[in-house]
Structure 1
Amino acid sequence: MRPRRYPSDTTDTEWALMEPLLPAPACETETGGAPEKHPRREIVDAIRYVVDKAASGELSRPTTRPGARSGTSWRDGPRPASSARSATTCAAASAATWARAPEPSRP
């Protein structure tokens, strides 16, 4: 019996029921393939861990980005610069840029 690290890990009885349902490893088929890098039971345990934590709400996305001030959501986008121009100034600059753009050549 192997030790369980998390409550979501499979027991020996559960693994005995699950293992025959998994497809044969690629390295054991006629076409062949690379040997498996990680034991199948550990992969199943990892999937069960993520599903268990997501279902309980413990694996939610972070609400703040790294290094953000408290209360600033990462969904709010980048912080405004201290010397940010107003929306009117930005719109005028954009209009001026388009006015200087050359006309497209027509075939």
Structure 2
Amino acid sequence: MARLEVAMADRKQAEEEQQKKEKIKCIQKRSLEKGLLQQPVKEKEVQALQQKQEEEGLLNILRNQVAVVAEFDPVRIMNDTEASKAILGTSADEAFVLQRPLF
């Protein structure tokens, strides 16, 4: 009977060791998979950052091409525009003619 109990204890201990080894293998496999899965994510992140930087560079070039380059001219600001003159029906020449003396 004592031999039977010892044999059962040994068997149980062997099964537990086997289960522990399987758990370790499973954990190692998961960690490898996570490591392999994380690498492409990092590569994708790097590619996304590079693409974003390229887009920003292209946008800066485009912004420089269409940038407003105008000097401050208060006289020009206060003058009537051609469109407003056209709406009123007066041109610059007519305004000048009206200012001449009639005699």
TM-score range, shorter chain: under 0.3
TM-score for the superposition, normalised by structure 1: 0.20
Structure scoring higher RCO (CA < 8 A, sep ≥ 6) equals: 1
TM-score for the superposition, normalised by structure 2: 0.20
Task: Please tell me whether Structure 1 or Structure 2 has the larger radius of gyration of its CA atoms.
Answer: 2
